[in-house]
Amino acid sequence: CVATPSQYGAIRALKEGAADIEKMNAAYRERRDYIYQRLTDMGLSVTLPQGTFYIFPNVSAYDQDSFRFCNQLLEREQLAIVPGKSFSDFAEGYVRLSFACDMPTIEEACNRLERFLSYYQA
């Protein structure tokens, strides 16, 4: 059974939390739209997520091995992202980024990723 205080908290959240939920949804939409635009501006193929705070750009034009791509990104730019192959063999060539963090963190992550991709184009 769930503790009584938790039940009361859940009832209050359901009755009074709609404005907070909409505020968070708006914040996630803003972050999603920002990271999507930055990734497409970098020339990466990516689908706009509709129901999650993860985005999966295709990096296979830079490296066919998503593990190697992520390791090199970590070594060179100190940016940790997750290889798509960690989730499925069908996701090889993709990487997973989260936008469930604040905008300055997302902006810095995009800057680091963009700088890293420029090494391949140089």
- What residues have CB less than 8 Å from 54, skipping those under 6 apart? 96, 97, 98, 99
**CATH, domain 25-121, list 3.90.1150.10, 3.60.15.30, 3.90.1010.10, 3.40.50.720:** 3.90.1150.10
pTM: 0.85
Which pLDDT tens digit goes with each residue over 55-96? 999 999 998 899 999 999 999 999 999 999 999 999 999 999
What is the pLDDT of the chain when averaged over all its residues?
94
Q: Do 93 and 59 contact (CB within 8 A), yes or no?
A: yes
Residue 8, amino acid: Y
What percentage of the chain carries pLDDT values higher than 70? 99
Would you state the pLDDT for residue 20?
Answer: 86
